[in-house]
Amino acid sequence: MQFEVFTLLPEVFPPYLESSILQRARQRGLIEVHVHNIRDYTHDKHHTTDDIPYGGGGGMVMKPEPVFDAVESILGVQPDCPIILLTPQGRVFNQRIAAEFSLQEKIALICGRYEGVDERIRTRLVSDEISIGDYVLTGGELPALILIDAISRFIPGVLGDPDGASDDSHASGLLEYPHYTRPPEFRGWDVPEVLLSGDHAKINQWRREQSLRRTFERRPDLLEKAELSEADRKMLEQIRKTKREGS
């Protein structure tokens, strides 16, 4: 899969892309990330990428010409891949959207700066607007890296194991159960007995209960869309009951 990134801060991408899993994915040819500096597509002496807003008011707006020129010179004038603008005005990104984008051969990511972009970029160039959450950032670069990371994990081979992204938090729609590793006792704090028992049926049952309990306590909103078995529903009813009794 190919990511074409358009940004005024190209230097922030390599350090993250050169580390760990994404580096390996790139070396194996599973993903390619091409970062383009929007400033290279300006034509004036000062390489201007922003301007004051029509109608007045504060702040600066990203000019349309350099963004259109950059995207069109890389993708052509009638691009057939998604062209994503990272913006707090977009649909909120999640695991389902990541999985959908991972089916694409190529996607473009446009990183806004200043107080936002000229509206014609949204309406005449961009196909999708995506937000990573309800907070304000100084630019779309970190959101773009988050999309690259979350989407790449769905590409077969990127995680290096055949199970891929299927076992994660959010894959089943539930939060993960608690994880422990050695030592079995650390500063007097023990690993739960069941995990040392070797009884895998019991371990799986314990983990499922923990996932349900955590999701109920921390993210009850997720339970509405989670895939639950009849046994899960019974377990949840138990969890709800013990909560009501205040234990």
Residues at the site binding ligand JBB, with contacts judged by CB under 6 A: 86-89, 112-113, 115-116, 136-137, 139-140, 143
Cβ distance to ligand JBB smaller for residue 63 or 113 = 113
Cβ closer to ligand JBB: 61 or 235? Answer: 61
Q: Which residues is 36 bridged to in the sheet?
A: 6
**Positions marked catalytic:** 88, 115, 153, 168
Nearest-approach distance from CB 117 to ligand JBB, in angstroms: 6
Element (DSSP H or E) covering residue 180 = none
Please state the closest distance from residue 27 (CB atom) to ligand JBB, in A: 29
Q: How far is the CB of 9 from ligand JBB (least distance, A)?
A: 11
Nearer to ligand JBB, 17 or 62 (CB): 62
Q: Sign of the CA dihedral 50, 73, 137, 19?
A: negative
Among 110, 129, 142, which Cα is nearest to 3's?
Answer: 110
Residues 6+ apart with CB under 8 A from 109: 3, 4, 5, 6, 84, 86, 140, 144, 147, 148
How far is the C-alpha of 105 from the C-alpha of 80, rounded, in Å? 10
